[in-house]
Structure 1
Amino acid sequence: MCENLWLKQLPNHFIFRLLHYCHIALQLRDELAGKATPQRRHSYYQSQPFALWLTHLLLTYAADMLVNVLLGALPLEPLSNAPDVLLCSICWYLIFYSPYDMVHALARTLGFRLLAAPVNAINQLLVIDRGIYEAGRVYGQHAILPILVVGTILGSGAELLKPVAALLINRCQQSSAAFVKLST
């Protein structure tokens, strides 16, 4: 019983969230850098930092926003946790704009990826479990379809909102070269 409670508290841990947010920012930067030409790669990030920050927030909190609509809560409720949004923004800033790209180079190392990939997998499983519990509480334990839909959306919420994020980047940068396709 104690191990179960310990595992459920992991996503609230500071280092756990820090690794998760840095991994999402790293994936976003790598995807955008892969689509940009080598001449435009540095100016690609400098042109519209607000759009990149908004895209990072959208991809980070996409699942919670979508599920809140289904569960009857406010869609922007995940953004009401100011320290969490600040940590997410700091991770984004360090990955995209650290001096000499030191944080980006550190995050691209195998050691960081070996730490961050399991953290993201554990986070995804725990979020799905939380979503199934919440859907069962709101819709009743015998409503199988809403429980499956909420669990699926929480498991792949960022995948569902990637077209919206790509449109946001393309519109703010007046280009059609940006595609957001995060890989897990």
Structure 2
Amino acid sequence: MSFFDMSSLDELSDGLANLSMFPYFEIAHYIVSVMALREQPGALVLSRISPLACWFSSMLHCFGGAVLTGIMLAEPPIGPLSNSDNILLASIIWYLIFYCPMDWVYSFTTLTPIRVVLSAMKEVTRTWKILGGIAQAQDKYEDNLLIMIAIGWAKGAGGGLISNFEQLVRGIWRPETNELIRMSYPTKITLIGAVLFALEETQYLPVEKHHLMLFYTVFTVVNKSYMMLTGSSSFPFAPIEWLLFEVLFTGRFSYGALTLRRICGTIIMDNGTSNRGRITTRGSTKECRHNCPSPVRGDRGTRRAKDESDAKDSKKYK
């Protein structure tokens, strides 16, 4: 990379790092968050039955990261309510999304070009929220990598991580939607960002912070825009995720195969099965030299051998 290219990259990175999130990017974040709530099943009906519950759910969508971070750091979880400007702005957006006459505001924001722009602006705020969480963790737990990752993740994806509590506010209980059980795209991409920025903060990742901010933000914005325009919901690192899961967490060998290997000292090939002490692999079949019991049929082989031995002993004494 030439000197001029490097200087241009530095200028672009510095410009992004000095970009103010309030009010325009925060407005985009609030609009997308409240729209996500409105599109939940039963949310529109709830807004007509209990506006207070609907408003509280909207605030959890907008400020869920700050609430969860406060709980994890033993700080007042109602801290976000102290910022009256943000609360007022989010409340106005909530009212317009749910109660605007003729539904003009919601209809306008659902237009594809408008929605793509708003979602891209929300992805920009994700970077700042992750960095804010890591900075909070750094103040209390200096250079503690795990805590920095956890707080950065909670600050950037708190709205999704506390979704079960938010559902309880709306009178819904669906534990199968827990983000820790089945992570959504925002939760996964926020976790990756929290890991990267925490590694950079502890100097394990040799890259400038403003450069990392630029690369991560551009990646999230471009990928989110592509997903919305193409209708795709696949995670960009899905092949790597699948490979790591298959290698580390599937446990390919069954309990019976592991038991047989321990007794016989024989390495069983993949998909190996056992039948009365006989080990079957893909290409060969051989008798077990130790007359091992079948892990599938229990100790039937051992019991049969014992019966034969007892019969021989009885004949001998006769």
TM over 0.5: yes
Change (3 A) 1:147 1:79: same
1:78 Cα deviation from its structure 2 partner: 1.1
TM-score when normalising by structure 2: 0.49
Offset of 1:10 from its aligned partner? Answer: 4.0
Offset, 1:20:
1.1
Q: In the alignment, is the contact (CA less than 8 A) between 1:28 and 1:180 conserved in 2?
A: no
Task: Give the letter aligned to residue 136 of structure 1.
Answer: Q
Residues 30 and 93 in structure 2, CA contact (< 8 A), matched pair in contact too: yes
How many residue pairs get aligned? The number is 171
Q: Which has the higher contact order (CA 8 A, sep 6+)?
A: 1
Residues of 2 paired with 1:4 and 1:164: CA distance?
37
Partner AA of 2:112 in structure 1: L
Contact residue 52 and residue 169 of structure 1 kept, 8 A: yes
Match of 1:51 among 44, 50, 53: 53
Aligned-residue CA RMSD (Å): 2.7
Q: Give 1:84 shift.
A: 0.8
Decide whether the 8 Å contact of 2:65 with 2:156 is kept in 1: yes
Matched, 1:73 2:82: no
The question of whether the paired residues in 1 share the 8 Å contact of 2:25 and 2:124 is answered with: no
Which residue of 18, 21, 24 maps to 2:33? Answer: 24
What is the identity, as a one-letter code, of the residue corresponding to 2:165? V
- Percent sequence identity is 25
> Residues of 2 paired with 1:53 and 1:11: CA distance?
26
**Structure 1 segment 67-106 matched on structure 2, within 5 A:** 67-106=69-108
Distance across 1 between alignment mates of 2:74 and 2:15: 29
Report the equivalent of 2:136.
134
One-letter amino acid of the structure 1 residue matched with residue 107 of structure 2: A
8 Å CA contact 2:138, 2:148 repeated in 1: yes
* 42 and 19 in structure 1: CA distance in 2 versus 1, 3 angstrom threshold: closer
Deviation at 1:71, TM superposition (A): 2.9
8 Å CA contact 2:28–2:121 kept in 1: the answer is yes
Shift of residue 169, structure 1, vs aligned partner: 0.7
Q: Does 1:118 align with 2:120?
A: yes
Note the C-alpha offset of 1:42.
6.1
> Could you say if the C-alpha distance between residues 129 and 106 of structure 1 is closer, same or farther in structure 2, counting changes exceeding 3 Å?
same
Cα distance, 1:57–1:5 mapped onto 2, change above 3 Å: farther
User: For residues 57 and 94 of structure 1, what CA distance do their matches in structure 2 show?
Assistant: 14
Counterpart Cα distance in 2 of 1:2 and 1:77: 35
The 8 Å contact of residues 21 and 125 in structure 2, kept in 1 or not, is answered as no
Change in Cα spacing, 1:9 to 1:61, as seen in structure 2 (3 Å) is farther
Shift in Å, 1:183: 7.5
Cα distance, 1:9 vs. partner? Answer: 5.0
Distance 1:163 1:83 in 2: 27
Structure holding more helix per residue: 1
Contact 1:165–1:180 at 8 Å: present in 2 too? no
- Per the alignment, residue 159 of structure 1 pairs with 160
2-side partners of 1:98 and 1:180: how far apart? Answer: 30
* Largest Rg, 1 or 2: 2
